[in-house]
Structure formats: structure tokens, C-alpha cells
Structure 1
Amino acid sequence: MKESWSAFDTFEPHFRPLVVIELAKGTKEETKEWLTQRIVDKKKNGGAQLLVKPLVKENGGKIDGNQNIYLVGASHLRLLLGAETVGLVKECNDSSMRTFTYSSRNTFKDFAEDNHDFLTMAERQYIIKHELENLRARDEKMIPGYPQAKLYPGKSIIRRLLTNGILVQIFPLHDSEKLKKLRYAWYGQMKISYQPLDEIRCYFGETVALYFGFLEYFTFALVPMALIGIPYYVFAWEDYDKYVMFASFNLLWSTVILEVWKRYCATMTYRWGTLLMKRQFEEPRPGFHGVLGINPVTGKEEPVYSSIKRQIRIYLVSLPFVCLCLYFSLNVMMIYFELETWALDFHEENESCFSNLMLFVPSIIYAIVIEMMNRAYRYAAEFLTSWENHRLESSYQNHLILKVLVFNFLNCFASLFYIAFVLFDMKLLRQSLATLLITSQILNQFVEALLPYWLQKRRHKKVKKRMYSLKMDTDLSLFEQVNLEKEMGTYIGTFDDYLELFLLFGYVSLFSCVYPLAAVFAVLNNITEMYSDALKMCRVFKRPFSELTANIGVWQLAFETMSVISVVTNCALIGLSPQVNALFSESKTDLILIVVLVEVNSCVAEAPAPAPCCGGRETPSTVLYNGL
């Protein structure tokens, strides 16, 4: 493949701009010339062999104040060669899935020399991003014009430009016509139907499509729970202790749905070609720093940081901080119970409609405080995880997710466990669960959907008609489109979206047996979430770069762990129920032994298998043993 590059001329005078690069104002001309030259240079000379031009007006003149914006594209031939480089898997004429190679291009389904849609737009933008990120320094010792921005052989040029503030942002362009069709099929018409996951994948990539696929699957999986919960709630409104049958169904439901999802996910990713993709050796993350040295595995020159120093930071700083936050969360929980006691006493003294409403005030206040604490802790966890200086992005994400999940789990569910297994108050458990669930859903919808959309409209108040035209029609010039899109918010990924679903799954699987309407509210929340998240992707945020993935990653382990906890919780609730206790009125020891035996057997069958090791990556299971 290396020899084949010199045999191809991938230059094309007219190209379709796919990616936008915005440099900082005041960037020196020699820096611009050097960067653009490296982008267009041939591969054998260390370039990306792409096409680049500055943003220009329709009349061809330079734009005052926007000379720092460049458009990047590539010829059709260059994109095909790039598809082979990144190892894209495509469907062949015999319906098999194989890694694309240019030499055997005619054996792939729908391939034609003049078919520029053989690669999806998300794949084309991913290829350009991959080539730009792999622009490596060769003989340069610094970025031209910036002596303080040191370079060394093998260093990513784009990452160095970003860390030094020379490169402001890099993002893929929207396709107005395809976005119009996607939004109409996705949320532009009010009807009950499946989401167009294949179209979402073609436009936004596999990571975003898998999130919406999981959201859709989780919503449908909640429907049986909701259908059973409504009559169960109606006919057992005052019987807080008659939950054995629903808890038993909960056990089966939480076990089955995740196993079915893994099969469904594998089917989708096989069709998309990411299930069979070979993992590439993971490069150091942009924020990783250390003394320049040689990687003993790759032999490349890169920063080196002592793992002992990292472990010291984890165990002597991060771990105590997390424990301190958990202790603070428990103290807030105890204050909540004091407020509950005060509200109950107030109601017993007054017995009025107002006192009835006051019974819900402590739970509402506590739900709001929980959301505030979760968001504040999230920023602290990001700072700590970055300070730990993890070499790989996967390791960084795993440690961050573990920190956030531990705190969120205790913060959101500790009070419910305390009510269920310490106070044994099922009436208060139902009230608290209902209040926490509904309040958190309202807050999340406001913070994650309505507020960003309102801020976006306010930010573009002067050009909102043009922005609407950008999303609905195709009459904006390229100049107007780029200048509108560069002001949009940046989509930070699916982390918060999966976290919300994780907590929702916890509310339903852990204690919905005492509040059967939990699944009903979860279904309603997910339906609105589909539309609000789709609206955000199409109207509020810049288009994110596609990320190739075969599954939902560490979140699969998180949901499976929650499923194990739900099995233990529901078994314990069944053991505490008056109906089961009546069967063992003479010997409580037999009851305890049976409950423990059922829990052990269920947990063994439910326990998530450790993920297999892969080249250069830290698996989610490993993180559990390596601490926070």
C-alpha cells in the first residue's frame, strides 16, 4: 500500500468541502502556509494529500475577518485509498462483509467509479479527520512562527496546534439537503415508527446511531413493564406490600433485556461493518504529557509518564476525594430525612391540603439538590481524571465513567435503599421514588434540551431566519453556512445521554415493584428524549465527527452491573414482603437461607463477563481492579 500512493494522482481542482478548520485570529501567515502545504503534500512527503482552500465569497473575493477559516476536502480516489487505510468494512457482491481494498474495489456492492456515494458522508469526514490527525512532524523542531510550540518527530501536528490555541476548532460540515431529509424522517412528522437508524448512521456515524438504537430498544423493552405496571398500580394502590409478583417479573426482565440487546447490537454493527473492523493501536490522547521518550512497543518517540506517579495520584488524591464526596452525599441524605420527619409532623398537626403538598416538598428539594451535586461532581471528576494523566483515551474514559457512576449511584439511590432496608417504609419508598424520578426527568429535559435550544436561538437572534433556512432549505451560500455552523455549540458526546439512561434503568429495575408507574414515566421520558436529542443533533450542535464502534463500550458493563444489583435488591424485597414472611412464620432462618441462595444463583448467571483484552487498550473490567 505504501508503494501504491506514489502511483496515484489524487489531486482534483474542484472538490466538495467536507471539513472546516478555523485558526485563531492573528495566526501568522507562515503558520498558515506551512499547515496548508502539509495538508496538500503527497503522502510520501509526509502530507495528507488532501484538498484545502480558504473560505471565499461567492464572487471569489477574500472575506475580511474570515481568512483564518479553511475548507478541507478530498478527491474520490483519495477517499477510496483512505478507506483502505482506516480499514473500513463494506458489503461485497456475495453479501459477505470484508475490509475494503482499492485493488478489489469492483467486488464490493454498489461500487462504481462514478458513484461518489459508495462511501457515506460520515465515512468520508471520518477519513479526512483520520488523515489530518495523523499529520506528523518530521524535521520541524517547532511550529513555524511560534518558537514556543515545540515539535518532535512523530508528534501530531493538529494536536499541537489545538493545545497551543493556534487551531480554534475543526468540525465537519452539514449537508443541508441530506439533513433536511433526515430530520423529516426522524422527527419531522408525528407518527409512531422506528427511528431511521441506518440513515442516522450514514449521517452522524456509528456511535451516535448506536446510542439512538439503544434508546429505542430500551424504550420498547420498558413497554411490557409499563403495561403490567398500570393495572398493578390501579388495583393495588393502597397495598404497598403486595409487590412479590411484580418484583419476580422485574428479576426476569432486567436479566433478559441486556442479553437481547447484545444480539441486536451485534446484528446492527455487523450490517454497518464495524463489528469486524480490526482495532488499531491506540495513540496517546491529546492531553497526555510527560518527558519525551521512546515507546517500547511501537518504537515511536512520544511523552513518557511514570505509571507509579499515576497510581499515587489515583490512590492518594482521587480516591480520597471521591470518598469525601460520597460522605458529603450521605450527610445531605440524612438532612433530607430530617426534612421528611418535619413535613410528616407538620401534616399530622394541621391535616390540610397545604400540609398534604408539604409532604412532597422535601423529596422535590432533595431531587434538585441531587441534580446539582451530580453536575458539580462531574466537573471535579473530569478535572481529576485529566490530572491523573492517562496515556490512552479509552483509559481516561473508563476512569472518568467509573468515578461518575459510583457517585451518581450513591447520590441517587442511597436514600431509596435506606428507606427500603432500614426504615422498612414502603409508602415513603413509593413517594420518594416517584418524586425523584419525575423531578429528575423534568430537570433533565429542561437542562439538556429546552435550555440549549433557547440559548442557541438567542445567540443567533439576528440570523435565526437564515439558520432556519440552513436546516430546512438549501439556499444559503457556503460562506453563510460555515459562519452559522461555527457559532453552534459543540456536541460533547454520548456520555451524559447514557448516564441518564443508566439512572433511569436503575430507578425502574431496583424499586419499580413498589411504584409500578416508574416504567410508564420512563417510557414517556424516552419518547420525548428521542425527539429532543434528535432536535439537538440537527438544530443546536455542530455536526460531530463519526466514530467507528462495535458496541456501547463500558456502558454495557455498567448496565449489566446495575442488573446484578437489581437482582439482589428484588430478591431482598421479596424476602421482606409480608406474603413470603407468612410462609415462613415459624423459621426465619429458612427464609434467609432461601433468599441468599436465590440471590447467589441469580448473580452468578447475571454477572457480566470481563471484556477481552485488545491491543494497547485498557478494558472496563480492568478499571474495576485498578481503582478510581
Structure 2
Amino acid sequence: MPVHRRQPSIEFLEFIGVVKENGSEQISLPPVLTPLSYDYVLVAKNAENHVTEAFKKQRDYIDELKKKNFKVTKIIDDDLAFYGIQAPKEIFERYRYLLKVSDACNWSSDQNFVPLSTRIRIVHFILNHTTIRSGLGLRDLMKAKVFEARFCLHEKRKQKELKESWARWTACLQGQPITAVRNYFGEKVALYFLWLGWYTYLLIPPAAVGIIVFLFSLSQFNSSPLIKEVCESDTVMCPLCDQGCKVWQLSETCTFAKLSLLFDNNGTVVFALFMAIWTTLFLEFWKRNRASYVCEWKVSDWSEEEEELILEIVNNVDCKPKKFEHSYVHSTLVIICVTVMILLIIGLTHALVVFRVIVAGFLASEPSGFLRQHANIGAMVAGAVLHYITITVMTRVNKIVAVKLCDIEKTRSFAATEKSFTVKMFTFQFFTYFSSLFYVAFFLGRINGHPGEYVRLAGKWRLEECHPSGCLTDLFIQMTFIMVLKQIINNVFEFSGPWFRRFMKQKRSKKLQRKCAHCYLKDETESNDGAELCENCKLKDWHKNYELTDVNSFSLFNEFLEMVIQFSFTTIFVAAFPLAPLLALFNNIIEIRLDAIKMVTLERRMVPKKTNDIGVWIDILEAIGVLAVIANGLIIGVSSDFIPRLLYQYHYGPCANGTSSDCLTGYINNTLSIASLSDDTVKFSPEQMITSAGVTVTSCSYKDYRDSDYKFTQQFWLILAARFAFVILFEHVVVICKFVAAWFIPSAPMQVKNDKLFDKLHRLKEELKSFEP
């Protein structure tokens, strides 16, 4: 009797996705046809010799899983062995029951099934806490290369839905399906994207205000008497170095004086005050937004420590909890190590200072007139580039040191270890990024001495001075290089790395895809072995997930760290860079989609983890907010010329006695002191005192408030007192505003609080009904 081949219907062909590519038909399997009932996959090298130590450990570990009633399916593919892991149903039932009776009950009463994301999290925990007879766990076996990889599988249907609604570049200006992200990646990833989206959204007001301040500064270009005084000045300035430098005209800094005015004006003060209050509002509104989502997800009362206890019992009923311990010896050792590490990072900052001083002296001695004229700028740019390279290297070193210090602490749970690591790593990274910026903002040009008594390194190189247009110009250049380079280079490598690795590995996946499609299109009666159909499709899916970029517990941490460092740049030194919020806004719009595309299509699926907050990051953000108030107050009060201009305008300038309508006329000359060659302490050579026009001068000016004996004038001390008075006043006003804003805005919407109240009441009544006979 003839066998009739079953013809696939049009709906089936559309379902499996027959598409045209390069003139030929290519069949892609439908999402639901790929077996996804496996909770986890382990990958190992296929041992040809079954007596090897690695193979024995593989077998022992798989046997331990089978003792826990796990179903393990092994498929060989050339030199790789894939183990598909399926957990028994009773494990998840046990988890549901323990979660329901726990103190932090957050399981919905109408939820009678365990989502795959929860299944993966439970299986991941059990796999990590399963040991072989020698006491080695999965992490130890991974380090010993007994297993090559471990991962949970992407769900094709949900992956496609997320890609269409979220993980694509054309969705840059759309909202995020946070609940769908939570259902797929877990609450931890969802809260990261919720925070990032909220941070990006609230960057719009400071970006707009920053643009207004920038435009306000541009409008003063033609009307500012300060720029006119600099550009039309015939003042001769003292040489900026010992060798190769000559006296120069103040008018040569006309362009940089205009640049300095962009971020050193009265609008900057208002903007810094605005950003300090914005930081508080951002954090308070974030708490409200977070509360709405965690209430909807039923995780408001969730506890990570209790979750780990439940998982311990699910894994082993006879388990014993790990006790809380504290060692003063270990804590003291950690504090000493952290202090040494911070001092080392600060030492690298001093090395950068020395590097810039040497580069400035080298450029100043060059025969090229252009290099001599821009020696300070060249040194600043070279220092910024070297600083970025130092940051890249130290990031790896900081991570290794932070991990080692966490091992010394011997924390009780993974949650405690993660918190400890986060605090240490951020502290190291913060000093790595900002030590140089703090030096430029608060020390550069203030400890270099004066003509006749310059401070020198090794008695040879003069310490660098601020740029003639002002100290904030140096800070602006440093921030621009670090922030722009960091964001652009990080984004390029963050996306291109996983994409390139996936592109290079697609050949094997396409071969398995054709085999799997062929099996599905064959008639069932012609299939000699039904297992072939399943194995080909399982292997195709497992191999495709295996070829994606690996993820670990640091993956999400790295994303958070990158954004919190950017938040620090945006808030701490915003007075010197009003356009920082705008750059951060543009970067974050790209960053959200970049991270989404990377997680959904280029990386293995992250193990879904439950949480109800962003953890210790919220404490770090609040600390940054406080530091931003202090730093911006110091920048405006100490680093900028705001206070000297204000004091000159109302006390020393022409407006003080009503002789002029322009209160800042003569301000530039007022900030300069004079050094004369007739003074024996001034050791400028005769060649240095020849101008570019060939005229020999007998005196030169330098920026400071000193008399002919190089002692500070009364005006210097009055300005210093006014600076510190402004800093104290600024910080107290902002701190009061922060406290008022925090008090005025509730941490959770009233609707959320009421929903939690009625939900608890409903659960208690249900428990009472079940108790009554």
C-alpha cells in the first residue's frame, strides 16, 4: 500500500517561517516547535577516553543530580557533550508551599503554576549547591574545565516578542515593556531597566536647563566686558615654564576666554543649585515609581535572605543555615587593604600630574612655535588620554581586588557578598575616575608658587598652572575627554564584541537548523527514529544558545556601575560642564536599546533573579547626591571666578563709587600681579623676556593677588573669606531644600500603600476562614 506524503499546509509553512534569502528558500523553525521544557543546559568537552578524571567528575555530578530526581538528557555533538537538565515537579511544589507559609508571603493566590523564570532560578540555585563526593561544586568544576559552559535557554516566542516591542533600534523613543521584561529576565533586570528609563526620562529637565545656560553664555560673547578686556589687552604675561617659554600677550587667550565664559558665569550658579535639588527629586520620585511596580509584582515584602533559606530547604530538607558571623580581625584587614588600594589609586593620580608636568616641559622646549604656544593644552589632552587608559587597566585590577576582599570577609549569603563587592568596587572605581578631576578642580594652579619661588618636581620641573583663561577650562577639557571617550568607546565595544562573536559562529548553527527543519517536514511514517527529530532540534537550540556571549553575576553589575559612574559625572562636576546632562541623555537613549538588544539577541539568557529594589545602589546614589552638593559648592565658590567677580563688582570696581555703569570694567587687570626683572628673586632669563614682536620687557604679569613683595594682598584674604562663606551658605541652602523635598514627596504613592493594606487584610481573612472549623 503506497505511503502518502503529508503536505504541509500554508499556515504551517508561514508558521515555520519560509523566507527568501539570496535567491534560495531558507526554513526557520517556529518558536514553539523548539523544545523548551529543559530548565538548564550544561556543556562539556566530549571525552573520548572515559577513564579521564574530567569525565569521572562529569559523571559523578550528573549522578548527584539524578539522585535528586532530575532528568538529564545527553546529546553528543562532535567534540561537545550537551546535558539538558529537567527538574522534577515536586521541587517547585515544595517551593510554592514554603513561599506561601513564609513571613514574606508574596505568592499570588490565583497563581497555580510556577513560571519558567522561577523554575530557572530554583534550578540554578540547586545546581550551584550540588556537590560530588570530593566536595567540589559546579563553580569548582567550571573553574577546572570539567564543564565548559552552563546556561538557561532563551524562549523563542517571548524572545521574539521582546525583540519586536523593545530590543530594536527603531524603538529608541518608545516606552519599555517593563512587566514583560520582568516575566522573562526576572525582577532584578527589570528594575535595572526601570531605573535606567526613569533616570533617562528625568534627564530631560536638566538637559533643557543646561542648554538654556549654554545659550545664555553664548549671548554674552559680544557684550561681556571680560572678553573684550582680554581680547583687546596689551598686557604681557610671565612665561609658563622655565625653558623654551617666553613672555606672551594676554590677548592670545581670547578664544579660551570665550570658552571659559560658557561654564563660568552667573547662570552656572543657578544651574548647580538646580542640579543639587534635581538629584534629590530624582531619587524620591524613583522610590515612588519603584514602589508602584514592586506592589504590582507582589514582591513588596520579599526578603532575599528568606528566599535563600527557602531554596536551601528545597535543595536539602536536612540543611542547616549558615550562621551570622563577624570577625574584627578580618574587618580590620579589609579596611587596611581598602585604604592601601585607595592610596595606590591616588598615587596614580600624582603620577598623572608628574606626567603632565613633564609633557608640558617637553612641548615647551620644542622648536615648533605651535607646540610651545599650546604646551599646557597639549599636556592636558595627553594627561586626559593617559587617564582614560589608566581607568581601563585599573577597572580590571579593582575587580580582582574587590573579589579577594570579599573572600576575606566570608559573608554569610550571596546577597551580602554582592552588597560588599558593590560597595568596594564602586569605591575603587570612583577614586580611579575622579581623583584626577578633584586635583584639577581644587588644587591645580593653587600650589604652584609664584615668580621667584615656583614649586618644582625634583627641583627641575615647575608644577603646571591653570590655563590662562581660568582653572575651569582645564576641568572642562578633562571631563570632556573622559566622559565622551568612555561613553563612545564603551558602547562600541559593548555591542560589537558580542555581535562579532555571534557572527563568527553562525556556520554550525545554520547546519543544525537545516537538519531540524528537514526532520519536521518529513512524514512521520518515514522517520526511522523519532529520537532523531527531537535530538536535532534540541541540539540546534542548545548550540545556538551556547554560541551566544556568556553572562555571569557581574554582567548586570557592570551595567549598573557604568550608569552610576555616569550619574556621578552628570551631578558632581556639572558646574564645570553644563552640557553633561544633555550628553548623558543622548547616551542613555542609545544605552537602553543597546543593553536590550544585547541581552535579548547577543547574550545567553541571564538567570532570572527576584528582588524588590536596586539594592545598595540606592545608598550609593544618595551618597553621590550629597557629594554633588559639596563639590558644586566648592567649584563655584573656590574654583570659579564667580566670587572674585561679585566682590569686584560691588566693592572694588567702578560701580562701588558710582563712576561707571559697567561694573566689571577693569576686572581682568585687577586679578593680575606684576613681577619685575629688577627683583633678584625673579629668575627669568633675558631670552624669555623678549616678546613675539621682538620687544624686550622688564616686567610681566601673572594671575594672583600679590603685592610687589609677593605677599598676599588684603583683597586676597577678603576673597578667600567670601569664597568659604559662599560654600557654607550654598551647601546649607541646598541641604535644607533636599530635606524639604524628601519630606514633601512620599516614598510610595497612597494608592500603593492602600493596595498593600487591603491585600494584607484580604490574606488575613482568608487564613482565618481556613482556620475556623
TM-score range, shorter chain: 0.7 to 0.9
Instruction: Output one character per residue of 1:99-123: Cα deviation in whole Å (capped at 9) or x when no partner.
Output: 33xxxx8x41xx46xxxxx543212
SS, match of residue 437 in structure 1: helix
Compute the displacement of 1:175 (Å). Answer: 0.9
Larger Rg: 2
Instruction: Output one character per residue of 1:50-81: Cα deviation in whole Å (capped at 9) or x when no partner.
Output: 4x13134xxxxx66655x43222246665344
Instruction: Output one character per residue of 1:567-592: Cα deviation in whole Å (capped at 9) or x when no partner.
Output: 11122233345455555566654663
Spell out the pairing of 1:223-622 with structure 2 (5 A cutoff): 223-237=204-218, 238=258, 239=261, 240-242=263-265, 243-280=268-305, 300=320, 307-308=327-328, 310-311=330-331, 313-336=333-356, 338-339=358-359, 349-350=369-370, 358=378, 361-362=381-382, 364-388=384-408, 390-392=410-412, 393-422=414-443, 423=445, 425-458=471-504, 460-463=505-508, 465=510, 477-492=537-552, 493-576=555-638, 577-581=640-644, 583=646, 588=719, 589=721, 592-600=724-732, 602-603=734-735
The structure-2 alpha-carbon separation of the partners of 1:601 and 1:24, relative to structure 1 and needing over 3 Å to count, comes to: farther
Equivalent position amino acid for 2:542 in 1: V
The structure-2 alpha-carbon separation of the partners of 1:219 and 1:345, relative to structure 1 and needing over 3 Å to count, comes to: farther
SS, match of residue 236 in structure 1: helix
1:181 paired with 2:153, answer no
Instruction: Please name the residue that 2:195 is paired with.
Output: 214
1:171 paired with 2:167, answer no
Distance 2:271 2:571 in 1: 11
CA contact (8 A) 1:125 1:546 kept: yes
Instruction: Output one character per residue of 1:163-210: Cα deviation in whole Å (capped at 9) or x when no partner.
Output: 665444432111112111111111236142111111111111111111
CA contact (8 A) 2:41 2:151 kept: yes
Compute the displacement of 1:315 (Å). Answer: 4.3
1:55 paired with 2:78, answer no
The structure-2 alpha-carbon separation of the partners of 1:541 and 1:336, relative to structure 1 and needing over 3 Å to count, comes to: farther
Instruction: Please name the residue that 1:290 is paired with.
Output: none
SS, match of residue 151 in structure 2: strand
SS, match of residue 300 in structure 2: coil
The structure-2 alpha-carbon separation of the partners of 1:372 and 1:280, relative to structure 1 and needing over 3 Å to count, comes to: closer
The structure-2 alpha-carbon separation of the partners of 1:523 and 1:344, relative to structure 1 and needing over 3 Å to count, comes to: farther
1:202 paired with 2:195, answer no
The structure-2 alpha-carbon separation of the partners of 1:174 and 1:408, relative to structure 1 and needing over 3 Å to count, comes to: same
Alignment match of 1:82 (pick from 73, 90, 95): 95
CA contact (8 A) 2:419 2:615 kept: no
Instruction: Please name the residue that 2:660 is paired with.
Output: none
Compute the displacement of 1:133 (Å). Answer: 4.3
CA contact (8 A) 2:169 2:593 kept: no
Compute the displacement of 1:355 (Å). Answer: 8.8
The structure-2 alpha-carbon separation of the partners of 1:163 and 1:429, relative to structure 1 and needing over 3 Å to count, comes to: closer
Compute the displacement of 1:565 (Å). Answer: 0.6
Instruction: Please name the residue that 1:44 is paired with.
Output: none
Distance 1:232 1:601 in 2: 21
Alignment match of 1:22 (pick from 36, 43, 56): 43
Distance 1:469 1:592 in 2: 74
CA contact (8 A) 2:360 2:378 kept: no
User: Which has the higher mean CA deviation after the structures are superposed, 351-360 or 404-413?
Assistant: 351-360
Instruction: Output one character per residue of 1:244-289: Cα deviation in whole Å (capped at 9) or x when no partner.
Output: 12112112112211121122122222222222213435879xxxxx
SS, match of residue 53 in structure 1: strand
CA contact (8 A) 1:88 1:277 kept: no
Instruction: Output one character per residue of 1:527-560: Cα deviation in whole Å (capped at 9) or x when no partner.
Output: 2211221122122221111111111111111111
CA RMSD of aligned residues (A): 4.1
Unmatched 5+ stretches in structure 2: 1-34, 219-257, 310-317, 446-469, 521-535, 652-717, 744-773
Alignment match of 1:70 (pick from 77, 83, 94): 83
The structure-2 alpha-carbon separation of the partners of 1:346 and 1:571, relative to structure 1 and needing over 3 Å to count, comes to: farther
1:99 paired with 2:106, answer yes
The structure-2 alpha-carbon separation of the partners of 1:501 and 1:530, relative to structure 1 and needing over 3 Å to count, comes to: same
What is the percentage of aligned positions where both structures have the same residue? 21
The structure-2 alpha-carbon separation of the partners of 1:363 and 1:463, relative to structure 1 and needing over 3 Å to count, comes to: farther
Compute the displacement of 1:31 (Å). Answer: 5.9
CA contact (8 A) 1:55 1:63 kept: no
Report the TM-score, using the length of structure 2 for normalisation: 0.60
The structure-2 alpha-carbon separation of the partners of 1:31 and 1:224, relative to structure 1 and needing over 3 Å to count, comes to: same
The structure-2 alpha-carbon separation of the partners of 1:383 and 1:356, relative to structure 1 and needing over 3 Å to count, comes to: closer
CA contact (8 A) 1:364 1:439 kept: no
Compute the displacement of 1:455 (Å). Answer: 3.1
Compute the displacement of 1:348 (Å). Answer: 10
The structure-2 alpha-carbon separation of the partners of 1:426 and 1:467, relative to structure 1 and needing over 3 Å to count, comes to: farther
Instruction: Output one character per residue of 1:414-460: Cα deviation in whole Å (capped at 9) or x when no partner.
Output: 333233323361222222222221111122112322233223323x1
CA contact (8 A) 2:572 2:631 kept: yes
Equivalent position amino acid for 1:396 in 2: T
Instruction: Please name the residue that 1:59 is paired with.
Output: none
SS, match of residue 99 in structure 1: coil
Distance 2:207 2:359 in 1: 31
Distance 2:483 2:164 in 1: 31
Compute the displacement of 1:563 (Å). Answer: 0.9
Spell out the pairing of 1:617-628 with structure 2 (5 A cutoff): none
Distance 2:337 2:62 in 1: 43
Equivalent position amino acid for 2:74 in 1: L
Equivalent position amino acid for 1:280 in 2: E
Distance 1:469 1:228 in 2: 56
Distance 1:215 1:378 in 2: 24
Distance 1:387 1:314 in 2: 10
Instruction: Please name the residue that 2:770 is paired with.
Output: none
User: Which has the higher mean CA deviation after the structures are superposed, 482-491 or 200-209?
Assistant: 482-491
CA contact (8 A) 2:191 2:613 kept: yes
Q: How many residue pairs end up in the alignment?
A: 532
Distance 2:612 2:296 in 1: 11
Distance 2:416 2:83 in 1: 33
Instruction: Please name the residue that 1:291 is paired with.
Output: none
Distance 2:725 2:374 in 1: 46
